[in-house]
Amino acid sequence: MPTTSLPSGGPIPVFGLGTWMMGESENKRTDEVAALKLGLDLGATLIDTAEMYGDGEAEEIVGDAIAGRREGLFLVSKVLPENASRKDTVAACERSLKRLRTDRIDLYLLHWRGSTPLQHTLDAFVQLQREGKIRHWGVSNFDTDDMEELLSLPGGDGCATNQVLYNLKRRRVEYDLVPLCRARDIPVMAYSPIEQGRLLGAAALKEVAQRQGTTTAQVALAWLLGRPGTIVIPKATKPDHVRENFGALDLTLSDDDLSVLDRAFPPPQKKYALEML
Ligand code: NAP
């Protein structure tokens, strides 16, 4: 699995498995565990989850999928803003560790910014790091001004990633947020990389997919993977989707392909506020 670098220099896989909407229905549980296991069998090492997903059930599903094969995996989870005080962040992390049935989370993110002062959450992250319960910490849904504020705090330069909505249709992060992260060697984790499936019928994607002999999902993922310091975390429960998404790792888009995509999905020419799903 190809990797990119964390600001500390360590590796982080550029492709992982998303888990939002997992754990919401008991009769899908077996398929969801199987999808994650299939992803791991195919070579994925990163799984993205959160205490929010399925109200903790998605972490339980990840726990089932990784049972007996924790070594070598890179687990990402997130604390909700309402749990982001010094004390509650530590307690939330400990609950996540129990559900995941592991002793450490590789990357622990603040899911989005709430009313808790950033320094308090940061202090909790540093404590969790010191105790070996998390290896790295980062944020999600942070716009440029939030990142600047975070990076100006004591210890704020320990931020290891910003996970944001980023795909061909959602390029506004390219104006100043991605450049800021690149300048600080902070990888950008692109969530909803195929816009939850809504991107896949686009004519430009079909044109490129046809030329490359691939699928539109693979083109959308390969486009993100071609951008330095970018990580994709598509979620798939259907086995065919899981397999198909891995195909993006073998696809390199040509300059012509990129021009077709730029024309259909132009990059931003001015600052727009960060979008969230
Ligand atoms: P996504 O990965 O863009 O799309 C997932 C949807 O696309 C599912 O309905 C899936 O169907 C379908 N799909 C997957 N592969 C496909 C393929 N090859 N062809 C056709 N359809 C395909 O959306 P997402 O789940 O919103 O985002 C990915 C992950 O990012 C999440 O799961 C979560 O881990 C993370 N995320 C984070 C935040 C945040 O605030 N930090 C917000 C949103 C998402 P099946 O499941 O039926 O296969």
Read off the pLDDT of residues 195-236 as tens digits, 9 standing for 90 and up: 999 999 999 999 999 999 999 999 999 999 999 999 999 999
- Pocket of ligand 1 from Cβ distances under 6 Å: 18-20, 48, 111, 140-141, 163, 191-197, 200, 217, 233-238, 241, 244-245, 277
217, 241 contact by CB (below 8 A): yes
Work out which ligand 1 atom sits closest to the CA atom of 197: 7
Q: Return the ∠ at Cα 180 (arms to 179 and 184), rounded to 5°.
A: 110
Residue 198: C-alpha distances to residues 60, 172, 207, 220, 252 (Å): 28, 18, 16, 11, 22
* CA 234/CA 244 separation, integer angstroms: 11
Torsion sign (Cα): 261, 7, 132, 110: negative
Specify the DSSP element, H or E, that contains 239: helix 239-246
232, 16 contact by CB (below 8 A): yes
* CA 138/CA 75 separation, integer angstroms: 13
**132 alpha carbon – ligand 1 mean position (Å):** 30
214, 245 contact by CB (below 8 A): no
The whole-number pLDDT of residue 240 equals: 98
Concerning whether 108 is annotated as a catalytic residue, the answer is no
**119 alpha carbon – ligand 1 mean position (Å):** 31
Work out which ligand 1 atom sits closest to the CA atom of 50: 34
* CA 271/CA 173 separation, integer angstroms: 8
Per-residue confidence of the chain (277 residues) as pLDDT tens digits? Answer: 999 999 999 999 999 999 999 999 999 999 999 999 999 999 999 999 999 999 999 999 999 999 999 999 999 999 999 999 999 999 999 999 999 999 999 999 999 999 999 999 999 999 999 999 999 999 999 999 999 999 999 999 999 999 999 999 999 999 999 999 999 999 999 999 999 999 999 999 999 999 999 999 999 999 999 999 999 999 999 999 999 999 999 999 999 999 999 999 999 999 999 999 9
Query: For the chain, which domains are there?
Result: 11-194 (3.20.20.100)
Which among 235, 237, 244, 276 is the best mutation to test ligand 1's pocket, defined by most ligand atoms within 8 Å of the CB? 235
